[in-house]
Every structure is written in structure tokens, then in C-alpha cells.
Amino acid sequence: MSTSLSTSSNPTQWRRPPVMFKRRWHGYLFLAAIVIYLITATWSIEVDWGRVQEGMARGWRFLQGFLVPDFTTRWRDIQQGLIESLTMTWTSTLAGILISIPIGIGAARNLAPAPIYFLCRSIITLSRSFQEIIIAILLVAMFGFGPFAGFLTLTFASIGFVAKLLAEEIEACEAVQIEAIRATGAGWWQVVNYAVQPQVMPRLIGLSLYRLDINFRESSVIGIVGAGGIGATLNTAIDRYEYDSAGAILIMIIAIVLVVEYSSSYIRRWVQ
């Protein structure tokens, strides 16, 4: 043991160890690749500055419209759009949950036999892989314009969300309780009703409220492709350059989302 070696190898300056990569230069290489990509990507955006300048006046008008919203001129349209959105949200969330419960149970590995498990999992994957807007486009083409197509879109989209999370919750259930109920000689239905349901109910209510929230946000856009709701009204308002009406609609959307979000988080805390 030479003492000179140990003193010379002691660093006097502390350097923070790299967090993500084992070697420092890996990090630099990664960073360089990202920077090169970002520059290429930024370069590929063509900006028509003349058009932007022209738009600034419009942007300003929109901002003014947002600060001084006009609720009265288009009130009838706004009211109709909002009622459509809200009823669509409510009915589709309810229908989505009712369909999700059997599918969610079927997609839980600890309750369902293999063929049913795979069937239910594929329904969930199908529902989750496409954006609501794309489903809305297809359903509007099939069922015609209006809130009915929107109702179907949101119901379909809710299934993937609620059923997937419900299935995960059922799989995470305490097996001991299921075993205990099964030991009393209970059938499959009784196991679901007395062992699984009490365990997952709070979570299911939480999920439903969360989905209600999401469905309202989505119902405010699917109108753009013709599926009814406030989105259609908003689209018309912007197309006609009526920014004060558009501002009013946006304020109402934000307000409703706020109310739904706060009340649902309140109810969730109360249930769980």
C-alpha cells in the first residue's frame, strides 16, 4: 500500500455522475443525434411569414373575443350544441360502462377462460387503437350526421378505456378473498358478486367519473367531423370569423370541464 497512490487518485473536484447513460460520451452522442434531428425537422416546416403577419390581427381579435365573449348572438346555437354535448356525454358514458363491465370481467385472466379472455382483449385493443375522431368519421358515414353517431363513437371509445382498466383492477384483486368465497361453495356468479365486486367497485366508480370527464372533452371536438355537439357550433363560429362567439364557447367548455373535473375528483376521494 503506497500512500502516494491513494492521495493522488482522490479527486478534489466533485462531478455529478451521468444519470441516464453509463458513459458520458454516449450521452453526448445521443444529444447530438437529437439536435441534428430537431434542426432537420424545424427546417422542414415552411412558414409563410406574410400569412402569419396577416393572421396576427386575427389573433388579436380572437384574444379580444376571448376577453369580451359574446354569449347572446349565437345563444340558440350554443345552447343546442351544449345540450347535445352533455346528453351525448352522459348516455355514452353510461352505455360504455354497461358494456365494459362484462368485457372487463371477460378480459381478467383470473376469472375468464382462455377463449373469452382473448376475445375480450381483442375488443379492447380494437377500441383503443384508433382515435375518437377517426371512429367518428366512419360512424358518421354509416349513421348520418348528428349526435347519434357521436353517442356511438364515445361509447365505443369508452369500452377500451374502462374495460382495460377494470380488467387490470380485477386481476390485481386479493386472491385470498376470492378463495374464501369459493370455499363456501359459491358458484362463479356468487364469486363475482361477493368477492370481486366489493373490491373493484370504488375503482370502477372512479374510472367511470374519469371517463365522463374525457367523454365531455371529446364530445366538444367530434362535432368538427359532423358527429353533433358543441364542436360543430365552434367550428361554424371560427369559420365565420365570429371570434367573440368562439371565445364564449371555449370559456363554457373550460368551465364545464372544470366543474366536471373538480366534482369528479371530489366524488372519487369520497368513494375510495
Partner 1 sequence: MTDSSPSHAPVWQRSSSRQRLVKWVGLFWLVAFSVYCWQVMNEDTIWAFVEDAPAQAADIGERMFPPEWSYLGRLWQPLWDTLNMATLGTVLGVIMAVPVAFLAASNTTPSVRFIRPLALLIIVASRSINSLIWALLLVAIIGPGLLAGVIAIGLRSIGFVAKLLYEAIEEIDERQVDAVRATGASGLQVMNYAVVPQILPAFWGISVFRWDINIRESTILGLVGAGGLGLNLQSSLNVLAWNQVSMIFVVILLTVIASEWVSARVRQAVL
Which residues contact partner 1 (rule: CB under 8 A)? 16, 19-20, 37-38, 41-42, 44-48, 51-52, 54-56, 58-59, 62, 83-84, 86-88, 90-91, 94, 129-131, 133-134, 137-138, 141-144, 146-148, 151, 217-218, 220-221, 224-225, 231, 234-235, 238, 241, 246, 250, 253-254, 257-258, 261
Which one, 63 or 175, has the nearer CB to partner 1?
63
Which one, 7 or 13, has the nearer CB to partner 1?
13
**CB 89, min distance to partner 1, A:** 9
Q: How many CB atoms lie within 10 A of CB 265?
A: 14
The amino acid that residue 209 corresponds to is L
Which one, 109 or 240, has the nearer CB to partner 1?
240
Q: Decide: residue 70, CB within 10 A, 0-12 exposed, 13-18 middle, 19+ buried.
A: middle
Which one, 82 or 120, has the nearer CB to partner 1?
82
Cβ atoms of 53 and 237 within 8 Å: the answer is no
**CB 33, min distance to partner 1, A:** 13
**CB 141, min distance to partner 1, A:** 6
d(CA 159, CA 96): 5
Contacts of 81 (CB under 8 A, 6+ apart): 223, 229, 230, 231, 232, 233, 234, 249
d(CA 151, CA 85): 9
**CB 113, min distance to partner 1, A:** 28
145 grid coordinates: 350526421
Which one, 65 or 106, has the nearer CB to partner 1?
65
Q: Which of 190, 188, 242, 252 is nearest to 220 (CA)?
A: 252
**CB 3, min distance to partner 1, A:** 28
**CB 37, min distance to partner 1, A:** 8
Residue with cell 384508433: 130
Which one, 116 or 138, has the nearer CB to partner 1?
138
**CB 145, min distance to partner 1, A:** 9
Which one, 29 or 134, has the nearer CB to partner 1?
134
Contacts of 151 (CB under 8 A, 6+ apart): 88, 91, 92, 95
